């Protein structure tokens, strides 16, 4: 198998056997970004398996662990994107942007016209990251009541037209 040495690995659709690797990269990325307000893992393998039944994960493979992943789910003309996670060693290198573009393209192919996301209000870097990609704030939503946090927290809802 020959490939250009500088070629970026392309995103692929996850299979059920990828669930443990998906949970691993999500938990590593979220632990780094969110440990100031939450102590628990973000997701379990069984939760990943459940999401694989309702939507899709797009992955970028690394050597032993995933470089990153994102979850997308078609919901009629709207779609949802979440759990964007990049291996902490590779963050700020374009993997997240590559996954965002792949997730949006995937949902366009499914006939969706809008992409919705939820971001944590305490992550002050996120509105700018998503804003540069065309997302606009549309409101707020409650954080899950069954998740214990060290600080008060809620979601900011954002959307983007995909057409």
Domains of the chain by residue range: 12-161
Percent of the chain with pLDDT strictly greater than 70: 96
Question: What is the homologous superfamily of the domain 12-161 according to CATH?
Answer: Gcn5-related N-acetyltransferase (GNAT) (3.40.630.30)
Average pLDDT, the chain: 93
Question: pLDDT tens, 27-81?
Answer: 999 999 999 999 999 999 999 999 999 999 999 998 788 999 999 999 999 999 9
Supply the DSSP string of 50-80, one letter for each residue: HHHHHSEEEEEE-SSSEEEEEEEEEETTEEE
Alpha-carbon distance of 14 to 6, in angstroms, equals 24
Judge whether residue 16 has pLDDT over 70.
yes
């Amino acid at each position: 198998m020959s490939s250009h040495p500088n070629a970026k690995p392309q995103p692929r659709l996850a299979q059920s056997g990828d669930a443990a690797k998906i949970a691993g990269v999500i938990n590593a990325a979220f632990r780094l970004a969110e440990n100031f307000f939450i102590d628990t893992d973000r997701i379990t393998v069984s939760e990943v398996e459940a999401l694989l039944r309702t939507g899709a994960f797009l992955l970028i493979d690394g050597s032993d662990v995933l470089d990153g992943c994102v979850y997308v789910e078609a919901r009629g003309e709207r779609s949802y994107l979440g759990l964007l996670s990049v291996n902490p060693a590779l963050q700020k290198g374009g993997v997240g942007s590559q996954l965002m573009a792949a997730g949006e393209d995937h949902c366009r192919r499914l006939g969706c016209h809008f992409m919705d996301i939820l971001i944590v209000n305490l992550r002050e870097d996120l509105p700018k990251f998503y804003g540069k990609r065309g997302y606009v704030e549309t409101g707020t939503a409650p954080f899950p009541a069954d998740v214990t946090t060290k600080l008060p927290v809620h979601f900011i809802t954002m959307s983007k037209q995909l057409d």
